[in-house]
Structure 1
Amino acid sequence: MHLVGKVNDDPDKENFALEQIGNTIKQNREMKADSDKKSSTHGATVKRKMMKEERTRMLEEKKLKKEQEKLQKAALKAEAVEFKKLQKERQKWEKGKFALKSIVAEIDTKVVELGSIGGHLLSRLADKGLTYRITSNPIEKSIVWTMAVPEHISQLSPEGLEIQYVLIVSEAAEFCDLVTSDTLLDHISRVRSKYPLYTVCYLTNRLLAYINKRENEQYKNPAIDSGWRRPLVEEVLAKLTTYYARVHSRQCADESELAEHVVGLTCSLASCQFRKKLTRLCVSANGSLIPKDSIDKNLIKGNLWLKALLAIPKVQPRFALAIGRKYPTMKSLLRVYMDPTKSVHDKEFLLKDLVVEGLLGNDRRLGEICSKRVYRVLMAQSGSVKTDDIEDGADFFTH
């Protein structure tokens, strides 16, 4: 009883203890809340920082990607420009703009050793800016030509051109010896065996002057018989022309003329490689059989099909224009001519009713004769038959 009373007698202490316990709990809770708040704040900060870094990284990647795309577009554009430039250069090459720069004269060393000939020749080639190479050719004293594609367009056109021409340079005495000993024809055979498809040309220097000099010496000193007889040069040169295909000769008066001929030949060989090839119907200046007083002269000159029609005998310009209006290309006319459902009679008279504009305004039909002539010439089976025979049907009806 005394103890309980003692405890109950000190209520302030009990309240103070309880208050302390409450404060402690409260402090713990506040500390925990602060800790949780700090932890949450730290987490949010870290998250925001990570999001910011991610956004920065994505922006950098996007920027880098744009720069790469920009560089790629610039590279593609530069490549397209370069390709277009190469195409233009290739077109220039195909038109022969680089012909003189690309052709190379391969001169046999024996030609250069021919004293004054070699000196004049090399000097003239250098003056014209032509490229030459001194080498050992399979045929002595020969000159052949090569043409390579310029290096900057070689990737588009890797193959060069083969120039099928060989020039044999001979001094007068040497050529006369070939004629006298009957070995010229053997020499031609040897050259053609090495260059079977080439045109061969024998270029001589001072040939006639040499022969005349030897004859004068013999005439002035008849007592001295050197055993020399005038070679049958003219007869042999005539044989070269009549007996052989693509075998020629050229006589030069002196070394200067010989060098000038080689230079001119080099330029011609370079340009002719790119010359427009003649078509089957191209005759007389590439088919331009146009009367000077024709009012449609300029129109016909610019149309290959009209020029081909004019190449057919007895086809006048106004006839060709009438056919060209109905059939603007050869293909369109040949498509009808080669139609198996039409008879030969229908094809022969296909053009007879085409309207031809008269000179004085009085229009008339093309006619049966002209229609038949055009059909039989265009559909001829053999190129060796004469035109008049084709018009009479000799070629067509025999096949």
Structure 2
Amino acid sequence: MIFLDAKKTERIFRSRKIYERGTLDRMLKSTIAIIFFCFCRTETLYLSFKKPVSSSSTHGQFYAKAVTDGDDRSIMAANCFHSLNGYQHGSFQQWLKIDLENEYRVTRVTIVNRVQAGCDCHLRLISAAIAIGSGGDIRNFNKCGESVTLAQVKFNTFFDVRCQQPMSGRYVTVWFPSGSAEPLNICEVRVYNEFEPDICGFDTKVYPVGFWDLSLDTLLQQTGATKPLNQIITLEKINFSAFHAFTVAFYIYPFHNSIGDIISIGDTDSLRLTQTFGRLYNSEVTVLYDDNQLTRAHVLMPDTWTFLTLTFNGTITLWRNGEIVIFCHTNLTPLDFNAHQLQIGSPSGQLFAEVAALQLYDRALNEAEIKLAMAQQPSFFTNKGALFEMLDPLEGIAGQILQKGVTRTRADCSQTCLRSLCLSLIHI
């Protein structure tokens, strides 16, 4: 990145106290073009967004391109892909292949399954696998993670498949390596890579205009299995109406019976994030303004901590654990409402959840900054470490909680699990 504005550069360098005044004056007099010391990516959609897709077969008009169109509604319609079954096609190895159009080191694939009332179609993906390669026969591709299990599809609309290590390839395939009479029936596939964007500048932190720990003890009293969450935060020293962009981010741990408003911003025509209906679990979060839907996506898992982020800069973007899930352009520029308080949950809602580390920023954070915000730990995290995401149970012991607790980092989490062979229980 190159700054060509000497005055702007001077303000930046003086504010950071990088150079003494004399040195900086001589430098600015000698040139107005100063090369800054980093190159950074700000944000991107997941790798598979709008990428070409091919398949072994197609049932009716439910084409393969639907899995990369950004529409993750899980009810069978034109936004979902449906192949023929093994008997119809004469082959028991149906496949779906996404062309990323470049080589990437893939780390994770999120699949949004088809879920529909009166149909066990969400079980069709059991034994399917993710494979990654650079071309040729998909049977020679490298397998990412484990095959899909009953535990992954039984209780939620979407699930993650994590590669054991980053895997290089241009093509991502979903298929039945051992064969299956079932069709492939998928509504969205999100592919993510290992690239972690750098922060441009000298800070390794982001600074919110508001940060609320939301005491764990208070949350446990308010939620659990008895009372829905309902809390008001007054924005006494924050002039929200002056924001031309903003970010609101927080950790949320929804229980199985949770549904309803998560957070509302605004006194009248409020902007709301709402946990909405799902057939297996209420995994959708819908963003509404003045009761009109702006966008929605499957982002929540039951009994799992998720770092949920909403950014606004004319475009509404919804993020899950530091990765973009969906966005939509709006005409809300600048913001068309005043906000003197944040409402978490609602008096009449059924938000059975824990919420922690609520953060408010007066600009739209980018991907790198959101990942820094994830590490901004509230006091009860700091005392015991950072919460880590509970992984899927191993095959053969499905339904058992093997590890649950707190560590400082994800690396510490994995090392703890390996040391104890995933058999001990760590209490928060």
Query: Structure 1 length normalisation: TM-score?
Result: 0.21
- Structure with higher Rg: it is 1
Higher RCO, 1 or 2 (CA under 8 Å, sep at least 6)?
2
Larger % of helix: which?
1
Q: Whose strand fraction is larger, Structure 1's or Structure 2's?
A: 2
**TM-score if structure 2 supplies the norm length?**
0.20
